């Protein structure tokens, strides 16, 4: 209630409703992320709500990301994992950075995160990410997109990605992972130990 009251007083121009300043489920999630430090939660929550509005999250539809999705580079699996979590599959070998406008890839990423979260069963709060690295080559590496992804996961979907599995990582992936690891460690809500590399 303290968060809702402060948001209503100091950030009355933010949208209301689902994923808005009066969404109690969203407020509780950001409070948990910030260990119930009210001011920290408000700071992070207002940033997330503003970003959702500016990025147009509620306007992203399956039709609007159809072209990027048709590559098969990423999708939400029809089944849940053994722990009852929705599964987001990423196939980096199908990602060619210069093939599509970066915004298309970013919108697909957000659309799929939203879709996976919408499939959360009662009592579940996190999703599983699986990176199928078969066929990955240097032409598929895209650190700028990885930076966007880590920003999105830390600032706007904190602690929603419970675990990441890297499957069949080729030798060429090793230097990319060495560059990416410092990015992971720089975010307090992303635990490098939850990212498992299987070769």
**Domain harbouring 174, CATH code:** 3.40.525.10
Residues 134, 99 share a domain? yes
Of 195, 158, 168, the residue nearest 180 (C-alpha): 195
- Sheet with 195-198, strands from edge to edge, namely 74-80, 86-90, 127-132, 161-167, 195-198
Q: Can you tell me the distance from the alpha carbon of 156 to that of 110, in angstroms, rounded to the nearest whole number?
A: 10
Measured CA to CA, the distance from residue 14 to residue 20 in angstroms comes to 7
- Where among 57, 74, 105 does a domain terminate? 57
Tell me: do 72 and 155 sit in the same domain.
yes
State how far the Cα of 41 lies from the Cα of 59, in Å rounded to an integer.
25
Contact 27, 4 (CB under 8 A): yes
Residue 130 CA: distances (Å) to CA of 91, 154, 162: 9, 18, 11
Q: Are residues 166 and 80 in the same domain?
A: yes
Tens of pLDDT, residue by residue over 139-184, are: 988 888 988 998 999 999 998 988 888 888 888 877 777 777 666 6
In terms of domains, do 50 and 145 share one? no
Q: Which of 16, 33, 57 is the last residue in one of the domains?
A: 57
- My answer on whether 10 and 90 are in the same domain is no
The pLDDT tens digits of the residues spanning 35-47 come to 999 999 999 999 9
Per-residue pLDDT reduced to its tens digit, 96-142: 998 888 999 999 999 999 999 999 999 999 999 999 999 998 898 88
* Judgement on whether residues 80 and 157 belong to the same structural domain of the protein: yes
Q: pTM of the full predicted structure?
A: 0.87
Whether 160 and 121 map to the same domain: the answer is yes
Beta strands in the chain (DSSP E): 74-80, 86-90, 127-132, 161-167, 195-198
Segments forming the whole domain that contains residue 40: 1-57
- Domain final position from 16, 31, 57: 57
| Coil, strand or helix at 16 | coil
Higher pLDDT, residue 5 or 196? 5
108 and 188 assigned to the same domain: yes
Q: How many domains does the chain have?
A: 2
Same-domain pairing of 46 and 95: no
Are 30 and 123 contained in the same domain? no
Q: Could you tell me where the beta strands, DSSP code E, fall in 115-180?
A: 127-132, 161-167
Residue with the two structure tokens 């599983």: 128
Measure CA 59 to chain center.
17
Whether residues 52 and 133 fall in one domain: no
Task: Indicate if 169 and 90 belong to the same structural domain.
Answer: yes
């Amino acid at each position: 209630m303290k968060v809702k009251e402060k948001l209503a007083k100091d950030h009355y121009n933010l949208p209301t409703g689902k994923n808005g300043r009066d969404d109690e489920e969203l407020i509780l999630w950001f409070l948990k992320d910030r260990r119930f430090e009210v001011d920290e939660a408000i700071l992070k929550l207002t940033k997330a709500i503003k970003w959702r509005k500016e990025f147009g999250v509620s306007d992203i539809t399956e039709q609007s990301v159809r072209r990027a999705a048709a590559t098969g580079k990423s999708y939400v699996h029809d089944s849940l994992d053994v722990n009852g979590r929705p599964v987001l599959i990423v196939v980096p070998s199908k990602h060619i950075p210069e093939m599509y406008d970066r915004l298309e890839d970013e919108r697909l990423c957000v659309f799929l995160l939203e879709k996976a979260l919408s499939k959360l069963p009662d009592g579940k709060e996190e999703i599983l990410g699986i990176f199928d690295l078969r066929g990955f080559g240097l032409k598929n590496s895209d650190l700028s997109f990885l930076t966007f992804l880590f920003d999105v996961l830390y600032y706007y979907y904190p602690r929603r990605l419970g675990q990441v599995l890297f499957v069949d990582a080729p030798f060429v992936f090793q230097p990319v992972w060495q560059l990416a690891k410092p990015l992971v460690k720089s975010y307090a809500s992303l635990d490098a130990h939850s990212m498992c590399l299987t070769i």
